[in-house]
Amino acid sequence: MMTKVYEIEHYGCLIDLLGRFDEAMEVVRGMEMEPDEVVWGSFLNGCKMI
């Protein structure tokens, strides 16, 4: 069941799914917490596909 309280792993998965720099950066900037290594790793992994 999904909740409205998102954890850091949720944002990491979302960035992985987007795989697009602009949309992924918007997600990172809109997060309610500071991005960690999971988020930045997912972000960089998504950038490899560009």
Q: Specify whether the CB–CB gap between 8 and 36 falls below 8 A.
A: yes
Closest CA to 43 of 32, 33, 29: 29
Return the ∠ at Cα 14 (arms to 46 and 17), rounded to 5°: 50
DSSP SS3 for 34: coil
Each residue's pLDDT tens digit, 6-44: 788 888 877 777 667 788 788 889 999 999 999 898 877
State residue 48's pLDDT score.
65
DSSP SS3 for 10: helix
State residue 37's pLDDT score.
92
**Domain ranges for the chain:** 9-28+36-47
Task: Write down the pTM of the prediction.
Answer: 0.55
Burial status of residue 2 (CB atoms within 10 A of its CB: 0-12, 13-18, 19 or more): exposed
